[in-house]
Amino acid sequence: MSFHLSGPFILNEDVLIIPVADLPEESRTQIEFHPGDFAVSRLQARSGSKIIDPDAAALLGRFRDQRTVVEAVILFAREKQLDPNNVLEGAYPFLRNMIDGGFLIPSSSADEEGKLVPEQIVPGARVLDASVLRTLHVLEDTEVYLLGKGDRSASVLKIERRSRRVGTSATVRGRLEHEAEFLSRLKGALAPRLLGKGELDGRLYLEMEFIPGVDVVTAATEWRERGGEQAQDALLCLAQNVARTYAALHERGILHGDVHPSNVLIKRDGTPVLIDFGVAGATTSATSFPKPPDRGGIPFFFEPEMAAAALAGLNSIPASEAGEQHAVASLIYLLLTGAHWQNFRLGREAMLEDIATLPPLSFRERGVSSWPALETVLVRALSKVPADRFRSMAAFASALSGVSPPSVPILPARREPLAQLLERALTRAAPDGEWSQAALTPAPATSLNYGSAGVALGLLQIASRRNDGSLLALADIWSRRAIREMGREDAFYNEEIEITPELVGKSSPYHSPSGVHAVAALVAVAAADPLVQMESLAHFLKAVDQPTNGLDLTLGRASILLGAAILLDALPRDGLIDLSPLRSRGDALRRELWQALDAEPEIARAGIAYPGIAHGWAGFLYATLQWCSISETELPPNLERRLGELAALALPADRGLDWPWMFGQSGEPVTMPGWCNGACGYVFLWTLAHRLLGDSCYLDLAYGAAWRSWDAPDRVITLCCGLAGRAYALLNLYRHTDETIWVDRARALAVRGAIASPNSKEYPHSLYKGEFGLAVLAADLEQPDEAAMPFFEPLGYRHQGRKA
């Protein structure tokens, strides 16, 4: 059977993608591979594994959620900073092979011709008096959608799938009826609340409460990667809570029947919630609960008796309390070590034999610090003989609750990559360093975003955090260099990356001489040089009189308004410098901006394509709030209404909130976590709105944006689009709430970026588009109370209290 590559695809659920280095030595000796390669296999297939390189594995991993080939290639190319067209051309044979081998399968929304099934629900449709916000999952037998009610409440629609080829299935309908029965009896305890059941166009559906959470492995990974005594305590607490949750389920007479990481969601407060009760059963036959369907599940979490039955060719055996205890212990072992309890061989029968016969590996064999008390509990729960396990899930949970952390804590997470990155940047920027010996290339060589002005500003922040006069002098050298370079042809523009006067204008501080003069003024403030402050301010005001490109925060009027706010915040108000021209210009910009905004209809229907910080409404509102706060002027009358309209566009995602990348696009909403067009930019807006306006709803929105900034997997490193900007957003929330957990998370993102930074070499000196922004972040993490995203957050908060 052939399929068009234009349709949506998803990774087959029985596919395993495993680093070759993690395979048993016996398996490695039978294959040819290079360092970093991955093995791809299907548990339900007789064919052998395929060996692929890291890039192929990363591209294939994009299909864990339903995506077209083009969407997956674009996401992969953006992360790797490659040309999507070249990636698509090179990857076509590989993807064709993955489809032919059944590793990638057409999603349930496509028939043999790749056309949508008539019953397919699309984002934007009205269903059950709600709007379909996005598709969550499309599985072989069901479709799952996120619904929005218009008041920022959300629910989940789970509906049976039907296609032209297979029609409906009694098995699917039976499982949904079965799940509804168990959810209705649980009444929102331990599981999502069942909100409704019925039929849509002849298809059975369940509507359930939406649970803001991430899968339990994602939650555990944070603590394993961080290390240290506090993280170890948190990891143990998570494991104990998971065991208690299943124990509470058993005490209600219910067996879940399908234990694996995706069926355990962890909420913001660490509470586990169990989902997918399609094969749930009763702990005893003397019950009114319905009889469960045949079990499926993921073999990693099979109990030995289930594996033995499968090897014997028997039908699926019913779930049992002892069997589910083994499955939960398998899950907890994975949470604590980051690996399964055995080096399972590839191939279905070999893996089942391992489950049925092999003992669990010790933590030390897994490369994790020994934890004798905990390992003793897990080994008993993982016993091959059911009678040798704990007498109940409650007894297992109780034994886990009695475990304490070992006397020797796990070593803290490594931070050397971040320190090395900062020192490397300082070496390159030194008078005898490579950046100082020639023009910065590629162009733009001078702008705040890309060139020498950005280097000067970054060095200024590093000098401030370290209270280092020599670094301040170096920042001054770079600032003066930027001033000298302003007349160069390559100072601010580069057609090859579409940075041209027509696209970025001639007055934005991020892309023009005005930014060079703004940086000079900030350096002069740190150096206490009133003459240079005065001269730089005059030059800035003259430079911003050049043509702007629209309204937005990085190219248009809002960029100048924010720049004026940053300078008004920084320049001394001691009477030596006349700040009235700056105030007048800022007030005029605010009026011009809001004259244009007030003429627009509701944000979702306005003629402005983007909602985010860099190019859209969030940026307009942020710049306005900063200016009005610093200049102590009244807010525009319609500002709070616009904040409400922007808040209404939030999309629940994992533990947090997303916002659309842009308006006017059909199909699934496209989002990103970065500062420019994604969730992390909103953190700064909502904390500022909360500080100035006091409404707690803005703080809730800030938390939502911060959680998304933390949970999102994208690994771009830059201030503009990636990990550095996301880390600054988390530091902003820390300063606003005093919750130190956000400093830890910001540091974790920064370390992740530092490890990945050698792969981002084109603009290493760029403040916003290269690894230098990450180096500045490293210095800010040394003094998180003073951290400020460069030329986006004013520096004066240090003199106004710690609140962001």
720-754 pLDDT, tens digit each: 999 999 999 999 999 999 999 999 999 999 999 99
Locus of tokens 């209705």? 184
Locus of tokens 């707690």? 696
pLDDT of res. 762? 74
Ordered DSSP codes for 148-179: E-SSS-EEEEEEE--BTTTB--HHHHHHHHHH
The better pLDDT of the pair 112, 270 is held by: 270
Of 413, 508, 376, 388, nearest to 453 by C-alpha is: 508
Task: List the strands of the sheet with 264-266, edge to edge.
Answer: 214-215, 264-266, 272-274
206 alpha-carbon distance from chain centroid? 28
Give the Cα separation of 505 and 73 in Å (integer). 31
**Rounded to the nearest 10 degrees, what angle do helices 557-570 and 580-598 cross at?**
150
Angle subtended at Cα 161 by Cα 192 and Cα 671, rounded to the nearest 5 degrees: 65
For residue range 349-372, what is the model confidence (pLDDT) as tens digits? 888 999 999 999 999 999 999 999
For residue range 58-68, what is the model confidence (pLDDT) as tens digits? 999 899 888 88
What would the mean pLDDT of 433-450 be, rounded to a whole number? 95
Helix (H, G, I), strand (E, B) or coil at 368: coil
pLDDT of res. 47? 47
Buried b / exposed e over 776-801, threshold 16 CB at 10 Å, is bbbbbbeebebbbbbbbbbbbbeeee
AA letter at 512 = S
Angle subtended at Cα 803 by Cα 801 and Cα 804, rounded to the nearest 5 degrees: 125
C-alpha distances out from residue 582 to 13, 298, 564, 586, 795, Å: 60, 64, 7, 6, 17
Q: Does residue 71 surpass a pLDDT of 60? A: yes
pLDDT of res. 797? 37
Of 169, 161, 162, 192, nearest to 179 by C-alpha is: 192
Query: Residue 192 gets which letter from DSSP?
Result: P
pLDDT of res. 460? 98
Locus of tokens 């702007």? 548
Of 728, 682, 688, nearest to 701 by C-alpha is: 682
Of 505, 445, 455, nearest to 479 by C-alpha is: 455
What would the mean pLDDT of 417-422 be, rounded to a whole number? 94
Cα dihedral sign for 765, 771, 776, 782? negative
What would the mean pLDDT of 637-664 be, rounded to a whole number? 95
Of 529, 461, 453, nearest to 492 by C-alpha is: 453
For residue range 563-608, what is the model confidence (pLDDT) as tens digits? 999 999 999 998 899 999 999 999 999 999 999 999 999 999 999 9
Give the Cα separation of 686 and 513 in Å (integer). 30
What would the mean pLDDT of 291-305 be, rounded to a whole number? 88
Half-sphere exposure of 135 (CA within 13 A, CB side): 22
Q: Residue 42 burial by CB count (10 A; 0-12/13-18/19+): exposed, middle or buried? A: buried
Give the Cα separation of 586 and 584 in Å (integer). 5
**Rounded to the nearest 10 degrees, what angle do helices 416-429 and 772-782 cross at?**
120
pLDDT of res. 734? 99
**Cβ contacts of 38-43, under 8 Å, gap ≥ 24:** 39/346, 40/15, 40/16, 40/103, 41/15, 41/16, 41/346, 41/347, 42/12, 42/14, 42/15, 42/16, 42/101, 42/102, 42/103, 43/14, 43/15, 43/16, 43/299, 43/347, 43/348, 43/351
Q: Does residue 201 surpass a pLDDT of 50? A: yes
Q: Does residue 97 surpass a pLDDT of 80? A: no
The better pLDDT of the pair 71, 459 is held by: 459
Fold of 126-209: Phosphorylase Kinase; domain 1 (3.30.200)
pLDDT of res. 798? 38
Locus of tokens 């004026």? 564
For residue range 117-154, what is the model confidence (pLDDT) as tens digits? 446 688 889 999 999 999 888 776 788 999 998 776 89
Question: pTM of the predicted model, to two decimals?
Answer: 0.86
For residue range 220-259, what is the model confidence (pLDDT) as tens digits? 999 998 888 888 999 999 999 999 999 999 999 999 999 9
Instruction: Name residues whose C-beta falls within 8 Å of residue 602's C-beta, 6 or more positions apart in sequence.
Output: 645
For residue range 385-397, what is the model confidence (pLDDT) as tens digits? 999 999 999 999 9
Helix (H, G, I), strand (E, B) or coil at 576: coil
Q: Does residue 1 surpass a pLDDT of 50? A: no
Locus of tokens 């989002």? 671
By residue count, the chain amounts to 804
Residue 116's pLDDT band (cuts 50, 70, 90): very low
The better pLDDT of the pair 670, 154 is held by: 154
The DSSP element (H or E) to which 39 belongs, if any, is strand 38-42
Decide if domain 215-401 falls under CATH 3.30.450.40. Answer: no
Buried b / exposed e over 351-372, threshold 16 CB at 10 Å, is bbbbbbeeebbebeebebeebe
pLDDT of res. 149? 84
Task: Enter the tokens of residue 61.
Answer: 């991993």
572 neighbors 565 (Cβ within 8 angstroms): no
Residue 32's pLDDT band (cuts 50, 70, 90): low
pLDDT of res. 628? 98
Helices (H), 25-166: 25-28, 54-61, 69-80, 84-100
628: how many CB neighbours lie within 10 A of its CB?
19
Dmax (CA) for the chain in angstroms is: 90
Q: What is the mean pLDDT of the chain?
A: 89
The better pLDDT of the pair 662, 325 is held by: 325
Residue 549's pLDDT band (cuts 50, 70, 90): confident
134 neighbors 122 (Cβ within 8 angstroms): no
Give the Cα separation of 421 and 772 in Å (integer). 8
pLDDT of res. 112? 40
578: how many CB neighbours lie within 10 A of its CB?
11
What would the mean pLDDT of 210-221 be, rounded to a whole number? 96
301 neighbors 381 (Cβ within 8 angstroms): no
pLDDT of res. 79? 79
Give the Cα separation of 26 and 37 in Å (integer). 17
pLDDT of res. 569? 96
Listed range (282-296, 414-428, 499-513) with the worst mean pLDDT: 282-296
| Phi, psi dihedrals of residue 134, rounded to the nearest 5° | -165, 160
Q: Does residue 803 surpass a pLDDT of 60? A: no
Residue 212's pLDDT band (cuts 50, 70, 90): very high
- Domain positions in the chain are 8-106, 126-209, 215-401
pLDDT of res. 800? 46
